[in-house]
Structure 1
Amino acid sequence: MSEFSFASINAANLGEWSDESRIDAFVTSMVTDLGAPLIIAIQEIGAAAMGDEPVKALVADTIIQKLAAHQWTYHYADIAPMPETTGGAENMNIRCGFLYRAPVELRSLQQIGTDSPFFIGSDELDCVASRLPLVGEFVYQNDVIYIINCHLKSMSLKNQTKKQAKKQRNQQSKVVAEFIEAHDLKAHPLIIAGDMNDTFNSKTVQAIAKIGFESVHAQLKYQIYTYKYQKKPILLDYILYNEHFTDVEGAIAHINTDPMNERRYSDHDPILMTGQLCSK
């Protein structure tokens, strides 16, 4: 068995436009609050488009440089989206990405839902474009690990669109679950993580959890939330893992949901998983 650590962070539209102090806070949190995990799934890392080409996340280079100043060598990977294809704020082109460090190696990246109307949008089904889940195939201590980084359809504050957003989100999670089954990913160490934008008992999260996953938050007893929705604490960010991980412990660093915290860099708190990776 091998020790393994992983975290998930919604970075809340972090991009090259972000203040340096905010990027510093993000990096410091990775190192101090999260203990420099082997792999980090990031949601809502963005960049402004400069033309009709795929939009590179320039802020990732800055993050890598600042991590190096902390004596940590990380690599960044994503699949850059075409302009205005991922929803969210105008010309921020948010996407899912990974940070990882040695001895972890990245073998491949692919996306889920590239032909699904529930991700790419459909006027007929009243669905808007949303972030594509990013599947990373990693190698660690001779084991292949799959991690699916999700940022599902955002909640809406308007009653008219809230129900439709939930329907789309439910369908998105079904697409992810079907991908897992179709590719027999549960035969390997597998983590599904990210901002699911719904509660644990919702159809959205359960569509994935019920096919054979535990949630890191089940290891916690108190303050189980990652977001304040209308000022009420709620759990929206998850790390779901399969039976290839044992002795799992979890933590949520309540940095960002406290508006008075000077180290705040997002509106979501990061969630952490540590444990043992076992080959089966």
Structure 2
Amino acid sequence: MNSKQQPDWWRYSATSWHQLLELMSELQPTTVGQCANQASWQLLKVGDTNTNFKLSLAHQDYFVQFVDQAKLEQLPSGEYASQTRLVSENPVLSKWLPKCLLDTEVIRVSTWLDARPTINQDFNNPDRVVELSRLLSELHHSELSLPELDMKKHLAKYYEIARANKNADPLRLETLYKQGQKLTGYFVASNSCHNDISPGNLLSGYQLFLVDWEYAAISDPLFELAGVVVNFDLSDQQEQELVTEYRKQSGIKVDIDKLEAMKDLYQIISELWYMENE
């Protein structure tokens, strides 16, 4: 079979196939034909708006991500943007993510990381808390050309998408939306944020790495911090240690009452997302 021909088992766009081959022809011209071998591909996970694989070629492994075009409306900007490449080219932030090799509206490719998902127990390690706080500080103080997250519109968008799901409880939906509307008054979009720091996106290896930047936007640092607390199910002690170190590293004021409001808002957004995707 011609290595440039899309294989029969390929379930993604022809554009993504050709873009992948063009990249690999530059990186590994002698082994590009291995891309057509289904055994070279290991399914990792299906994310919110993407599907992820490990691509193993003769001399190098790669992380390959295919974008679900039908779910792009869930992103802060409502459309695709090259967020990963943008961040990877930032001199301060580039060390926190794998090298981005390709970032288009249909496919993303980066170097493979020998790392695992971060878990709750990692927050018992003071060194990891210091490292994460430094990552957050550098991110929140960076000046990236990101879309601004309009939380009222974001909440309304998730509410409307969830309403389209016939299995969603309409009374629960209405309650969540009204609660969320009240909480949006605390939200202030002021800093560069990742907006989706979760176990699958925060990886632990010889250092911490942060991947999947498609939700990145100018957002509220305390909404970001709230997401960490919620997604990793931090205990009160773990949360206090993270907040204390984050304050020290970033110099950003952490109003505890606002943080509580942001945790509630984050949980509402998360529940709406699960309702729309169940």
- TM surpasses 0.5: no
- Structure with greater strand percent: 1
- Structure with greater helix percent: 2
TM-score (norm 1): 0.31
